[in-house]
Amino acid sequence: MKPSEVLEILQPLWSVFAKTAPPNTALPSYGQYLTDLEAASLKAAIDEIILTQKFFPAIAEIREVAARHLRADLPSAEDAWLEVNRKIRLYGRYGVPQPPEEGGGWGPVTFSHPAIERAVAVMGWDRLCDGENDTADFAQFRNAYTAYRDREIRAA
């Protein structure tokens, strides 16, 4: 996007947050540092900011909300945990049964997103399968998964 296109998308912010908006001299900075964002995610971010924030956002806040909209395909920690538990019940500690033409035996369990796979790897599949304290396991999984998910969002 061009800086002028960014500023056009941002225009509602200056109307809604007129009392806390930065001076017009800040406009070029907003235009410059948001040009790499997709127009759709920037528009969605501006709509969310207008509905949820009380003050004019910093460039970093706009980028964070836009990145979250861009990576809306990332499951929440709760949904990721449900997926892990489904796979535990379905496959158990041995993993996915492999067909004889692939050598038989057991193969690795796969997940819908790499962030889930990384969080499971941090905790250990066997440990998760043998876990006796779901609350503690979920808390540890949530921390690991959220860290990986946030990295994905920042990289977007």
| Tens digits of pLDDT across the chain (156 residues) | 899 999 999 999 989 998 888 888 888 999 999 998 889 889 999 999 999 999 999 999 999 898 888 777 788 899 999 999 999 998 888 876 666 666 666 778 889 988 999 999 999 888 999 989 999 999 999 999 999 988 887 776
Domain boundaries, the chain: 3-70, 77-155
* Other CB atoms within 10 Å distance of the CB of residue 37: 21
Considering the domain delimited by 3-70, tell me its CATH architecture: Orthogonal Bundle (1.10)
Q: What is the pLDDT of residue 102?
A: 65
Which of 73, 62, 74, 58 lies closest to 116 in space, CA to CA?
Answer: 74
Residue-wise pLDDT for 82-107, tens only, equals 999 999 998 888 876 666 666 666 77
Residues 6+ apart with CB under 8 A from 70: 37, 38, 41, 153, 156
pLDDT of residue 103: 67
* Cα 28–Cα 30–Cα 32 angle in degrees, nearest 5: 65
